[in-house]
Every structure is written in structure tokens, then in C-alpha cells.
Amino acid sequence: MKRIIYSLICLFLANEAFSQGCVAVRHMSCAATNSLSSAEYFKQKNAQWQLSMGYRYFRSYKHFVGDEEQTQRVEQGTQVINLSHALDLGLSYQPNARLSFSINLPIQFNDRSSLYEHYGNPAAGSGINPDQNRFHTQSQGIGDMRLSASYWMRNPYKLPKFNFALGLGIKLPTGNYGATDEFHKLNKEKQDYTIVKPVDQSIQLGDGGVGYSLETQGYWQIAKKTTVYFNGFYLFNPKETNGVVRSPEATTIDLVTGSFSVSDQFAGRVGFSQSIGNGLSIMLGGRLEGVPAIDVFGGSKGFRRPGYIVSVEPGIAYMKGKFSAAATVPYALYRNRTRSYADRLDPLGLKHGDAAFANYLVSVNVSRWF
């Protein structure tokens, strides 16, 4: 059982890889990922420290309105492409076998290329951007820090076959939520010039609000070498908007969508882990993550792209001594860009914005106990 549970620890440490596309989910770890402990460490009564480092990557470019893919965007070359690289640094402290405290800080590099944000998308007969010139905007730096605490509800010294933990967290607005870059425009003489303004919400480094999270995680050993794992996360962001105006060059500012929204987030995972010996385990599970259109607390005005992704999540984990490593590759099975608060204000009920999603996500994590 020790090996199986520790394999689950590796799996949890490899997640959560939020922000799988233009659905504006901030990069952050989920469900107290660094506060889990294996049966081997449960037996050690001395305080434990753990360092972890994770890397995540995705490329989003497939546009959806609701759950219908807008295949013409790729065919016409007008799709928006987001490339995202994130390095997550984590430190956790376990004063006893049941309680742990964690701090996580992401470091991000994002690149976004599009036509419409610069010269514009080509339109039939309009003469706008006929050469389909595509330009890039970028953001890089630290993201929003998260502090969390987690407590195992059953005594781990008894090594139960079923155990689960509950956690609380706070998200601090340490990431730049008003990152800017140069955007290319054409004047009346078709000459190129640039303006500086905030980059798209999907590649902003933070959301500008203090958030609070509820978390859960656990395992259930159903056979000698097989264990069910689960974890869940919900981030409450009471602040409505962060005050960053999307298009400061505009002559009028939309009071509903003119600035960036500070939105809630959610994620959940469940699956099976199978030990195959020599410290190796393979996993297969399901995964749900996204942004709601309406927040639980506070207002929901401001610009956001709500939606969710359902993925199948295969993975592999390795443990030797106090070292662990894991890799997962969630692959999207279902994507839905839901109607936002602003969309719902349309009296005709026709307005429905789009968002770009990735096909898959790569997540790799290593950690070491001390």
C-alpha cells in the first residue's frame, strides 16, 4: 500500500495545470498539491519539509462557441494561438502526520499571436489585412501566489485504506494583472504603427484579486495494487473587476465588459492508480476544470471567457526514497465556452462569445522530502 499511496502523491504533485486555453483560468496549483504525504512519511513523527518544481505547457488554438468548434477559424487562418509555459515552485511543511502548510508560486511565459488584435481579420471585399499579417504579444514573470493548509480526516498512523483531507487556501495578487505589450495598427495611409495596451486576459499573469479556496483530496485502496484517487478545488474571487481597461484607446468604455473580471475557478479529478513495481505506477483518470459565468460571491461584471474542459488524464509516476517524479498529459474530450454575464444581458438571447482551447496539456513534476 505504501508504494501505491506514494504514487498518488506523485500524481497530485503533477497538477493542477490550469489555463488550458483562452478560458481565463490563472496558473496555480490545486487541491493542496504539496501537502500530501505517503504512508512512509506518515510513519515519521518528525517535522517534514518538501520542495517541488513542476513544468506545464499547452498550445490553444481551437475556437469554440458553446460546445461547437468553429473549424473555419483554423481553415481561414484567423485563429488565435496561445503558447503557455509555467514553472511552479512549491514548499510545504508538515508539523505532524495530519497537518501541512504549503506555499506555491508560478513563474510564467506566455505568447499570443492573432490577426484581429492588430491589423484585423481579413473580411471578404474589405481590403483589411489581405496578407493575414499575424503579430505576437507576450507576458512573463511571477503569477499569483497561493498559501494553503490541509488536514487528513483519519489518523494516518493507522494506515487506513481510505483517507481524505480537507483544505483551505488564500490566493494573493502577486502576479501582474495589467501586463502590457505593443499592438500593431494601420493608419489611413496603410502605414504600420504601434500602441501599448494591456495584453489579452488569457495571458495576464494574475487577476488582481485576493481569493479564497476550498480543497479536498483523498484515496481509497480497492485492491492490493490498485487505488482510487480524487481531488477537488474551488477558488472564490469576491472582487468584481481589477480596474484594468482592456482597450484604453477606445473612445467609449463599455461599463459591463470594459475592464477585466476577477473570476472564480474550479477543478476536479478522479481516477485509478496501478502499481507496476520498482517504484513505478500508471494512472488513468478524468478531469474537469473551468471558469463559471457567475461568481458565488461578489459581482460578475467585467470581461471574462467562462467555460470548462473535460479531459481524460493518463499519467505515470516514479518514487525512490524521498524523491518522486510524475508526468500527466490530460487530453480534452469535451470543451464548452459558456455564455458570460455580458452575453446573458442580450435581450434577444443571441449573443455568445467564443474562446480558444488546447487539445492537450503536458505537466511534469519532481519533488524531494527533507
Sequential DSSP letters for 271-291 = EEEEEEETTEEEEEEEEEEEE
Structure confidence at residue 14 (pLDDT): 42
- Three cell numbers written together for 235: 477558488
Choose among 28, 61, 32, 7: nearest CA to 363. 28
pLDDT band at 16 (very low <50, low <70, confident <90, very high): very low
Let me know: does 166 contact 230? Beta carbons within 8 Å.
no
Q: What is the C-alpha separation between 249 and 91, in angstroms, rounded? A: 42
Angle at 34 between CA 295 and CA 97, to 5 degrees: 115
Taking residues 51-68, what's their average pLDDT? 96
Is the pLDDT assigned to residue 203 strictly greater than 60? yes
pLDDT band at 128 (very low <50, low <70, confident <90, very high): confident
**287-325 residue pLDDT tens:** 999 999 999 999 999 999 999 999 999 999 999 988 999
Choose among 257, 306, 302: nearest CA to 24. 306
How many residues are present in the chain?
370
Structure confidence at residue 26 (pLDDT): 54
Structure confidence at residue 336 (pLDDT): 98
Burial label for 207, CB within 10 Å (0-12, 13-18, 19+), is buried
Q: Can you list the domains of the chain with their CATH numbers?
A: 2-369 (2.40.128.130)
The owner of cell 500593431 is 184
pLDDT band at 11 (very low <50, low <70, confident <90, very high): very low
Taking residues 164-179, what's their average pLDDT? 97
Residues of the chain above pLDDT 90, percent: 75
Radius of gyration of the chain (CA): 22
Residues of the chain above pLDDT 70, percent: 87
Q: Which residues contact 124 (CB under 8 A, 6 or more apart)?
A: none
Mean pLDDT lowest among 5-9, 255-259, 268-272: 5-9
Taking residues 81-93, what's their average pLDDT? 96
Let me know: does 1 contact 159? Beta carbons within 8 Å.
yes
Taking residues 173-182, what's their average pLDDT? 97
25 DSSP 8-state letter: P
3-state secondary structure 290-331: EECCCCCCCCCCCECCCEEEEEEEEEEEEEECCEEEEEECCE
pLDDT band at 38 (very low <50, low <70, confident <90, very high): very low
Let me know: does 326 contact 364? Beta carbons within 8 Å.
yes
Contacts 24+ apart (CB under 8 A), 292-297: 292/263, 292/264, 292/266, 292/338, 293/338, 293/339, 293/340, 293/341, 293/343, 293/344, 294/341, 295/236, 295/237, 295/238, 295/240, 295/263, 295/264, 296/236, 296/264, 297/236, 297/238
* pTM for the model: 0.90
Mean pLDDT lowest among 80-84, 196-200, 318-322: 318-322
Look up residue 166 and give its amino acid: L
Burial call 48-58: b when 16+ CB within 10 Å, e when fewer: bebebebbbeb
pLDDT band at 20 (very low <50, low <70, confident <90, very high): low
- Three cell numbers written together for 179: 501586463
Is the pLDDT assigned to residue 116 strictly greater than 90? yes
Burial label for 303, CB within 10 Å (0-12, 13-18, 19+), is buried
- Three cell numbers written together for 60: 490553444
Q: Looking only at Cα atoms, what is the longest distance across the chain?
A: 77
